[in-house]
Chain A
Amino acid sequence: MKARLAIILCLLLLVFASCAYAQNEDNVRELFYQGNIYYSDNDLEEAINSYQKALNCGYESGALYYNLANAYFKNSGLGKAIIYYLRASRLTPNDPDIRSNLAHARSLIQGGMINPRSPWFMRFFLRFTNLFSLNRITSIAISLYLTLCVLIIIGIYLKRYRRFFTSIDIIIAIFLAISILVFGVKFKEQVIERHAIVIKQETDSRFEPLDNATTFFTLYEGEKVQVVTSNGEWFKIRRSDGKQGWVKRSDIELV
């Protein structure tokens, strides 16, 4: 009797949870469309408000980040626009619109992007990793891993086809190794390393986390930096050319 009651309660909980999820998703959609209407009316501040409210519901989508980035871009918020284009590209890395807008936004960074040229194979590999979102490469790696396990077991029992299964196992193992490598790169980039974008038009990177410290170099709105550590109101950052300095927390925003 008690077990039956527990099952009924669990089922009810599941139904309520799915209803709440659907309700929240509907809210997100409604705010998204509302934001689009404001955007088309050129009321960019209201469009930004609507998209932000949709994000505050605890849900995200590539299109939502993309539209918010567009609104910021049109509203002279280059730094914020780049942040949201990057977030959008994490969810939908293959979207050509996101890539195009991000490239255009980056082209407007004052003084241009500082991008040390890496070897061709690194550029090729990084371009390859950019084809996958973190969740997608995780799914691919898990699928390959499960397939490999099943084929190994079948190959052990079907001795007659052992050579055939070994060949397939090797191929799948190679793909699995590549997918794990890509996963590692994406995981490092999105989870381990903390990247940030400069949201102020211009900010000084100093030698020490002090207001009166000597300026080492100047960062411009939209530039991407890696956060190394923090100290109160200051972040220690590393620019793509390897130079490190301290900038105020309020001048940059984590991606």
Chain B
Amino acid sequence: MNMDIKNNYFAKTLLLVSCGIFLWVGLSLAQDIGFETRVDKNVSKVGSPIKLSLIFDGVQNMGAVDLPDIPHFTWRYLGPSTLMSMVNGQVTKSVTHAYLLMPTKTGKLEIPSLSIMYKGKAYSSKAIPVNIIPASSSQAQGQIRDSQPQQDADEELADKLFLTINLSKDTAYVNEKINAAIKLYISGVSIRDITFPFIENNAFLVDKFSQPKQYKEILNGITYNVIDFSTDIYGLYPGEFRLKPTEVNCNIITRRRSNNRRGSPFDDSFFNSNIFDNFFGQYEKYPTIVKSISVPISILTLPEYGRPGSFDGALGNFNFTLDVSPKDVQVGDPITLTMTVSGSGNFNTVNTPRLNFKNSFKTYEPEITQQPRLKTFKQVIVPRNHKITEIPPISFSFFNTITKTYKTITTTPVPIKVKPLEKGQELKVFEISKDFTDRIKRVETLGRDIVYVKDNPNGIYKTGALLCKNELLLIILFLPALAVILVIITQARKNYLAMDVPYARKLAAPRKAKKSLANLRNLINSKETSRFYDAVFKALQEYIGNKFHLSAAGITSDVIDELRARGIDNQVLDELKTCFDMCDRSRYAPSSIQEEEARKTLKMLEGIISKIERIKK
């Protein structure tokens, strides 16, 4: 039972999935495809082929199409190319079949509309006009580009690079905004350094160009890169005019040939490419001026009939609003009127609405801000007395270019409350100097570019020579630190010894003893043995005095008892006593001293000092 339910559920799911797949496949199959034809150029010569592309959008399994006989052309199939792309999860695919069409006759010819059948549905393309010009004599020798006549070249260039101008209207009033869409079409040529269009005409005021837009556009079967410059122009005087051809300066970039032959700037590298040019050729610039055609335009004067008194020349379709802040003030306090004109039209003709306040308010120069579809006037007014109860109505008039009539918008009176000055206060209304207002009015638009090259190379260094990577310098830098450390240690030791005199004397004892022993040795060597025991006694006094921090003058053989108390070895003390006795004997019972005896005494003394030094404490 359970198995039956499971099987039933599985069968239902399978059925649903199958239906879904069939539906999806059916929808996919039923989907329309796109079909169009394009050529790589509209102007060619007899014997110079044109590439015809048959583009099928939304399908990739479309086979090559046998073209019908095209009058005055022979054709050859080049091959297919497919394209698949995914944008935002949506897959688009297409196949393009390319053909070479060889013109056999000069004149204005036409590649006729082509029809194909796909999944039982007929699709057809648009006919494409082409201009076939005569080939030169050298063309037959296969040297088309080298000896091309200038006229042919110009014609071919005109097809690849041209400028159009479209005005939003051909009749307008003085100062009425006319949008001029200027488009530069580029196909098959490489151009750089494109300038903004130049419109020469004294009868028109040309607005600043907006940032140009770039997009692709298909015109007569050719895909063009389009640079769209847009601006607004305004007629200054009434009359019938022709807008002079608009000009765009640019440089056409082409490769300079290695053998110094100069091709035309629009040579087709498809048929004449030389692999060595790619390696040894350089780019060359051809300065070119691209011109549009001249355009007729009528400029009309504004009608006198119905012109309101408050009209100041504003043209367009506007709205006018007023905002007052604050509404509760004291005499002499500023009130800001914000008057906003919005809509479409020539905002340069919109002036500050006139205020008819007589003497009740002191007015200042307004602060004006202009945005693409908005102009705001911030007007500061100061009430002169407390009897004022409202801001009177303000009128703004303009000529509506759509209805071709004058229109006036008047605001309603805005109630305000003006309190009188308190006792002791004085009304102070400040005047703004003309210089100050002039400075505010002057708004300059500054250009921006890079600063020019420098005339002098100034400091020249070895590349990458960094001081911090100089190893010798880093080693030398340790020396001052080392010197500081040594000085600090020496000074600290010196200070310590100055504080602890017994330790300092104890430390100095062996050094001084060494000196005394050297002196004794000199006495023996110089045979001055008469002073020998005096010197030995002094040396013993000095050494023991320093070593045990005792007064040197009072040291005699009696010191031995004190030294015994300090734990000196008895043997050393015995030797010391012998030494003292010998000194006493010699000093108080002088007799000649033998050198050998003196050396023996010296040795004994050395032994005593050495043994005392070896005692740890």
Contact = CB atoms under 8 A, between A and B. Distances in A.
Given A61-B457, A101-B450, A191-B466, A76 B480 contact: no
Contact of B468 (A61, A97, A134, A146): A134
Given A28-B457, A59-B461, A91-B461, A149 B484 contact: yes
B449 A60 contact: no
Interface in A60-112: 60-64, 66-67, 70-71, 73-74, 76, 91-92, 97, 100-101, 104-105
B458 A97 contact: no
A229 to B, nearest CB: 22
Interface residues of A, number: 46
Interface in B286-320: none
B468 A183 contact: yes
A165 interface: no
A249 B572 CA distance: 87
Contact of B453 (A66, A104, A142): A66
Nearest to B193: A76
A150 to B, nearest CB: 8
A152 B484 contact: yes
B451 interface: yes
A243 to B, nearest CB: 21
Interface string B105-133: 00000000000000000000000000000
B455 interface: yes
A105 B463 contact: no
Contact of B457 (A63, A74, A146): A63
B460 interface: yes
Contacts of A152: 484, 487
B458 A61 contact: yes
Which of A71, A73, A138 neighbours the largest number of chain B CB atoms within 10 Å of its CB? Answer: A138
B457 A135 contact: no
A58 interface: yes
B454 A63 contact: yes
* Interface residue SS majority, chain A: helix
Which of B452, B463, B464, B468 neighbours the largest number of chain A CB atoms within 10 Å of its CB? Answer: B468
Interface in A131-167: 134-135, 138-139, 142, 145-146, 149-150, 152-153, 156-157
A61 B452 contact: no
A140 B447 CA distance: 39
Contacts of A176: none
B256 to A, nearest CB: 11
A32 interface: yes
B412 interface: no
Nearest to B480: A149
Contacts of A191: 466, 468-469
A145 to B, nearest CB: 7
A76 B469 CA distance: 36
Given A63-B456, A149-B480, A153-B487, 10 more contacts: A58-B462, A58-B463, A63-B457, A92-B458, A97-B451, A104-B448, A135-B468, A138-B466, A142-B473, A191-B469
Pairs of residues from A and B, 8 with the lowest C-beta to C-beta distance, nearest first: A149-B480, A63-B454, A97-B451, A138-B467, A67-B453, A101-B450, A32-B457, A61-B457
22 contacts: A25-B460, A29-B460, A32-B457, A36-B453, A59-B463, A64-B457, A64-B460, A66-B454, A67-B453, A70-B452, A74-B450, A76-B192, A101-B450, A104-B448, A105-B450, A135-B466, A139-B467, A149-B484, A152-B484, A153-B483, A191-B466, A191-B468
Interface of A: 25, 28-29, 32, 36, 39, 45, 54-55, 58-64, 66-67, 70-71, 73-74, 76, 91-92, 97, 100-101, 104-105, 134-135, 138-139, 142, 145-146, 149-150, 152-153, 156-157, 183, 187, 191
